[in-house]
């Protein structure tokens, strides 16, 4: 992240690398169902993918990406300085490598924090790898790991969903409880304290609340309740809690939604929040320095404002990036607003405080979206994955590190005949699929 406003979403302990990839060509191949990554001067590293395997979920960190397959494996690519690819080293990759999961483990969902990664297993456990300076791996330590470690959940907990914040993690349990761990300087663990924790703690939800979805922002957390309310906690310097104040809170507070609003989906951005209502409207609150609230202004708001959608638009999904926002419409268009180093996909790099239409290839209908640190993803109805924005760590997935202000095709493994759509968008995780043939 290069803009000054982005600095608090970055780990100030190390600058983001921008040039280490230029001299390392990489090849990708599928051989009898095995994904093989080969780099100059090194042996191929196989990711064993049985024929017919689908990539069923994807998530983005600040500068890396993750995917989970129908076989329960996890692939990762991009920045790896802190071990966030989970492949046993700290060498970045602009093509997928296999995360080295514990033997016998099947993963069902993935999530990216800024410099760490999370995965839920079929047994309801949570694995984590990457940066751990704030305890974001939840393993009782603060040493980073380039291999997955078990998050030490409370006894009897079964996790159904996860989300990564800047330097913290969130997990939703089968009983509707929310667990949190990692950085807590601004109360983003929601436990009534501001002391970081290297073990999961319970978010102190209001009595009687049952949470159905979670989303981590840069330094705050969001939760959607079964009654369609939104709870928020953590940093509030730019109004990202949406409670009409700019005072941080170490306990969940209610986002002050417009009267009669019922929210069906949420997404946390770097310093802002997004909510989709049952009528297809989009609400936004928090930081607005780059127009990420989409209300035609660049003034922050501590209360939800309506995003100025094009007339007749009905939105079906939302996703927050670090300083930009995305919306998917009922007709398959992708709308984007906010910061624009290319991540709006409209063919220029001028920020916009109202939604603009990403220039998808002619005839393309998008079915799912995902906002990354400074890049964006879309899945199309034909199964093609598109990406645009920053690409300094290979986060566009096209085997390059050249940024693009229009959507480019994410390169499928060689030997595949194309992509297939698998899933839509889930709580805290944006999902799409490839079929390996």
Dihedrals phi, psi of 195, to nearest 5 degrees = -105, 125
Assign residue 389 a region (left: φ > 0; alpha: ψ between -120 and 50; beta: otherwise): left
Q: What is the pLDDT of residue 16?
A: 37
- The DSSP bridge partners found for residue 34 are 31, 48
DSSP 111: E
Which residues contact residue 388 at a Cβ distance below 8 angstroms, ignoring those fewer than 6 apart? Answer: 342, 343, 345, 358, 375, 376, 396, 404, 405, 406, 407, 408
Dihedrals phi, psi of 434, to nearest 5 degrees = -110, 155
Helix/strand/coil (H, E, C) string of 320-362?
A: ECCCEEEEEECCCCEEEEECCCCCCCCCCCCCEEEEEECCCCC
d(CA 344, CA 309): 15
DSSP 77: E
Tokens 């989906």 belong to residue: 265
Q: What is the pTM of this model?
A: 0.86
d(CA 61, CA 373): 7
CA 355 to chain centre: 20
d(CA 195, CA 186): 9
Q: Closest Cα partner for 315 from 304, 305, 326?
A: 326
Domains by residue range for the chain, with CATH: 28-204 (2.130.10.30)
User: For each of the chain's 437 residues, which pLDDT tens digit applies?
Assistant: 333 333 344 333 343 333 222 222 222 222 223 332 333 334 324 345 566 666 677 788 888 888 777 889 888 888 899 999 999 999 888 877 889 999 999 999 889 899 999 999 999 999 999 999 999 999 999 999 999 999 999 999 999 999 999 999 999 999 999 999 999 999 999 999 999 999 999 999 999 999 999 999 999 999 999 999 999 999 999 999 999 999 999 999 999 999 999 999 999 999 999 999 999 999 999 999 999 999 999 999 999 999 999 999 999 999 999 999 999 999 999 999 999 999 999 999 999 999 999 999 999 998 878 888 998 877 777 766 788 999 998 888 788 899 999 998 877 544 343 333 333 333 333 333 334 34
Q: Closest Cα partner for 396 from 315, 352, 341?
A: 341
Residues in the chain: 437
Q: What is the pLDDT of residue 41?
A: 35
């Amino acid at each position: 992240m290069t803009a000054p406003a982005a600095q608090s979403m970055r780990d100030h302990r190390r600058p983001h690398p921008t040039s280490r990839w230029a001299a390392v060509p990489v090849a990708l191949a599928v051989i009898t169902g095995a994904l093989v990554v080969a780099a100059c001067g090194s042996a191929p590293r196989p990711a064993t993918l049985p024929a017919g395997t689908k990539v069923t979920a994807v998530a983005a960190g600040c500068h890396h990406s993750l995917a989970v397959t129908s076989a329960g494996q996890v692939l990762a690519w991009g920045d790896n300085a802190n071990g966030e690819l989970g492949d046993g080293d700290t060498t970045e990759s602009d093509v997928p490598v296999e995360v080295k999961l514990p033997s016998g483990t099947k993963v069902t969902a993935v999530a990216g924090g800024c410099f760490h990664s999370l995965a839920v297993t079929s047994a309801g456990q949570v694995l984590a790898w990457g940066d751990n300076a704030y305890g974001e791996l939840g393993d009782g330590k603060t040493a980073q790991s380039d291999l997955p470690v078990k998050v030490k959940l409370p006894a009897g907990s079964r996790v159904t969903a996860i989300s990564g914040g800047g330097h913290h993690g969130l997990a939703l349990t089968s009983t509707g409880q929310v667990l949190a761990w990692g950085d807590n300087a601004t109360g983003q663990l929601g436990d009534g304290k501001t002391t970081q924790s290297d073990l999961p703690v319970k978010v102190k939800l209001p009595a009687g609340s049952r949470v159905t979805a979670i989303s981590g922002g840069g330094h705050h957390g969001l939760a959607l309740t079964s009654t369609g309310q939104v709870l928020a906690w953590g940093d509030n310097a730019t109004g990202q809690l949406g409670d009409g104040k700019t005072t941080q809170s170490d306990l969940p507070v209610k986002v002050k939604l417009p009267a009669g609003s019922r929210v069906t989906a949420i997404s946390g951005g770097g310093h802002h929040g997004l909510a989709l209502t049952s009528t297809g409207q989009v609400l936004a609150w928090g930081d607005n320095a780059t127009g990420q609230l989409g209300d035609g202004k660049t003034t922050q708001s501590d209360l939800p404002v309506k995003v100025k959608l094009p007339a007749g638009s009905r939105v079906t999904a939302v996703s927050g990036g670090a300083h930009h926002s995305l919306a998917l419409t009922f007709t398959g268009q992708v709308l984007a607003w906010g910061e624009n180093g290319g991540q709006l996909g409209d063919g220029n790099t001028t920020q916009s405080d109202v939604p603009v239409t990403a220039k998808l290839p002619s005839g393309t209908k998008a079915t799912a979206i995902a906002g990354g640190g400074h890049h964006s993803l879309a899945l199309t109805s034909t199964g093609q994955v598109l990406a645009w924005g920053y690409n300094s760590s290979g986060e566009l997935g096209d085997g390059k590190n050249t940024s693009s202000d229009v959507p480019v095709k994410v390169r499928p493994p060689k030997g595949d005949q194309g992509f297939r759509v698998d899933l839509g968008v889930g709580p805290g995780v944006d999902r799409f699929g490839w079929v390996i043939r």
